[in-house]
Amino acid sequence: MMFKVYLVSSFLLGLLLLAQAHEKHNKIQFYQLKRGNLHLNFTNYGATIVSVIVPDKHGNLADIALGYDSIDSYKNDTVYFGALVGRVANRIGKAQFTLDGKTYKLPANDHGNTLHGGTTGFSDVVWTVKSHKKDSHITFTYDSYDNEQGFPGKLEVSVTYLLIGANKLGVRMIATPVDKATPVNLAQHTYWNLRGHDSGDILSHKVQIFGSQITPVDDLLIPTGELKSVKGTPFDFLEPKEVGSQINDLPGLYDINYVLDPSSPHHLRKVAVVKDDVSGRKLELWSNQPGVQYYTSGMLKDTLGKGGVTYHRYAGIALETQGFPDSVNHPNFPSQIVRPGETYKHFMLYRFTAS
């Protein structure tokens, strides 16, 4: 009898220890990377960039990423501040797609379409911190299960944020299907304001985008399947110009995918340059992806952020390198289907300077 009690007690103790280990493993926390004057903060909720602190032309430090002070705010977030979004970022028309003869239906969380992976995408899950060295890098991992938000197959995902030199941030997103083919399109969704997250709007920021075409959209922001030249339109940022210079000439708002111009083989594409003349700060972005979503937060409205600051319309710029939106329903777009034995790889490189 005593032996049975001992066995039961040992079993219960084991369960308790496993539960405590699981709780510690999935605890939501903030993490930091720091090198010189480049300071970044993250949370494993959504593998999210919380803050990016860099100097201006006078050496004064400021946080240039929109975000929140608390984990609860990130849990209630609806605008994806700083988040890693997926399994499929951006929109999927009519919340469905067909793959290998089977139709998959997804949560319709955006006017009858699927946005950023569904009602509980990768931005709304707790990631595991696999590796963290404060002066070097942090790696988050997440195991997505079969039929999560309607997507087929298990998917092993990781994102590494890596400090490079004194003023560069690398982002490496890797995803590997375990047992079924699946679409994958991960994106980093930070909103930038180079004058400081609390400084007002970004309409005077100068932007250059290295994309000669866009993928036009309908009234619900679903691509029509066309590719259209930007020349002679308000979408033409081939040469630097202020965000607000033609914003009133738009039929809607800046929330559009640019088809990035080709780069030299084996090199990352130059995506965009953003410059604020007041602070002197400049952000440059490179990636290996075919597109970038340019979004100037036209739908942002009275959002309470860090330090009690309220973010209004045009408070930040998002530059989300990506595959094309709704690619799963447009065979002429670059494919996002990844099959077992293949690996999805998405690289980004940011450089922060001031002059």
Averaged pLDDT for residues 29-46:
98
Nearest alpha carbon to residue 200 among 60, 62, 40, 37: 62
Whether the per-residue pLDDT at 69 is higher than 60: the answer is: yes
- Of the candidates 116, 189, 197, 205, the residue annotated as catalytic is 189
Whether the per-residue pLDDT at 6 is higher than 70: the answer is: no
Average pLDDT in the chain: 94
Q: Residue 314: helix, strand or coil by DSSP?
A: coil
Kindly give, in sequence order, each residue whose CB lies less than 8 Å from that of residue 50, ignoring residues fewer than 6 positions away: 30, 40, 41, 42, 43, 65, 67, 68, 82
Task: Say if CB 24 and CB 153 are below 8 A apart.
Answer: no
pLDDT score recorded for residue 12: 53
Mode of pairing for the β-strands spanning 310-311 and 281-287: unpaired
pLDDT score recorded for residue 8: 47
Task: Report the predicted TM-score, pTM, of the whole model to 2 decimal places.
Answer: 0.93
C-alpha distance across the termini of the chain, in Å = 78
pLDDT score recorded for residue 265: 80
Whether the per-residue pLDDT at 27 is higher than 60: the answer is: yes
Averaged pLDDT for residues 199-217:
98
pLDDT score recorded for residue 23: 45
Task: Tell me the pLDDT band of 3, cut-offs 50, 70 and 90.
Answer: very low
Summarize pLDDT for 157-207 with one digit per residue, the tens. 999 999 999 999 999 999 999 999 999 999 999 999 999 999 999 999 999
- Of the candidates 116, 320, 330, 346, the residue annotated as catalytic is 320
Residue with tokens 């800046």: 254
Q: What Å distances lie between residue 24 and 27, 129, 138, 140, CA to CA?
A: 5, 11, 17, 15
Averaged pLDDT for residues 266-279:
96
Catalytic annotation present for 320 = yes
Letter for the amino acid at 53? I
Catalytic annotation present for 25 = no
